Amino acid sequence: MNHIIKSITAAALVTFMGSCGKESSVRLETVKVETGEITETVTATGTVESVTQVDVGTQVTGIIDKLYADYNSIVKKGECIAEIEKTMLESDLKSAEASVESARHTYEYNRTNYNRDKALHDKQLISDYEFQTSKKDYEVSKAAYEKAMADRVRAAKNLNYAEIYSPIDGIVISREVEVGQTVVSSMNVANLYTIADLDNMQVIGNVDEADIGQVKVGQRVTFTVDAYPDDLFEGTVTQVRLSPTTESNVVTYEVVVGASNPDHKLIPGLTANLTIYVMSEKDVLQLPAGAFNFEPEEYPEAKNLPQPGQPVDRSKLAADEKSVWVLEGDKLVNKVVRIGAGNGIKTSILSGLKAGELVATGYDDAPVGKSGDMASDKQSPFAPQPPGRNKKK
- Amino acid letter for position 167: P
Cα distance between residue 51 and residue 197, in whole Å:
7
pLDDT greater than 60 at residue 165: yes
**Whole-number pLDDT of residue 196:** 94
**Whole-number pLDDT of residue 241:** 95
Over range 266-282, report the average pLDDT: 92
Residue scoring higher pLDDT (271 or 291): 271
Torsion of CA 353, 354, 357, 363, to 10 degrees: 30
Q: How confident is the model at residue 114 (pLDDT cuts 50, 70, 90)?
A: very high
Q: How far apart are the first and last CA of the chain?
A: 29
Q: Which of 73-77, 136-140, 283-287 has the lowest mean pLDDT?
A: 283-287
Q: How confident is the model at residue 273 (pLDDT cuts 50, 70, 90)?
A: very high
pLDDT greater than 70 at residue 282: yes
> 64 with 178: CB under 8 angstroms?
yes
Secondary structure element (H or E) that encloses residue 196, with its range? strand 190-196
> 200 with 258: CB under 8 angstroms?
yes
**Whole-number pLDDT of residue 189:** 66
Q: What is the DSSP letter of 36?
A: E
**Whole-number pLDDT of residue 8:** 31
Residue scoring higher pLDDT (115 or 387): 115
Whole-Å CA distances, 179 to 75, 358, 363, 387: 19, 77, 81, 94
pLDDT greater than 80 at residue 1: no
Q: Which of 12-16, 187-191, 215-219, 291-295 has the lowest mean pLDDT?
A: 12-16
Strand spans (E) along 270-320? 271-288, 307-308
Residue pLDDT, tens place only, 170-213:
999 999 999 999 888 765 667 899 999 999 999 999 999 999 99
Q: Work out the mean pLDDT of the chain and round it to a whole number.
A: 84
**Whole-number pLDDT of residue 345:** 86
**Whole-number pLDDT of residue 365:** 67
pLDDT greater than 50 at residue 142: yes
| pTM tops 0.85, yes or no | no
Over range 290-295, report the average pLDDT: 88
Residue scoring higher pLDDT (208 or 297): 208
Strand partners, 27: none
Residue scoring higher pLDDT (81 or 1): 81
Could you give the strand order of the β-sheet that contains 53-58, starting from the edge strand earlier in sequence? 53-58, 190-196, 170-175, 74-75
Over range 311-324, report the average pLDDT: 88
Residue scoring higher pLDDT (107 or 389): 107
Q: What is the DSSP letter of 311?
A: P
H-assigned helices in the chain:
2-20, 87-122, 128-161
Q: How confident is the model at residue 169 (pLDDT cuts 50, 70, 90)?
A: very high
Strand spans (E) along 200-303? 200-208, 220-225, 228-247, 250-260, 271-288
**Whole-number pLDDT of residue 7:** 37
Most confident option among 233-237, 279-283, 378-382:
233-237
Q: What is the DSSP letter of 365?
A: S
**Whole-number pLDDT of residue 221:** 96
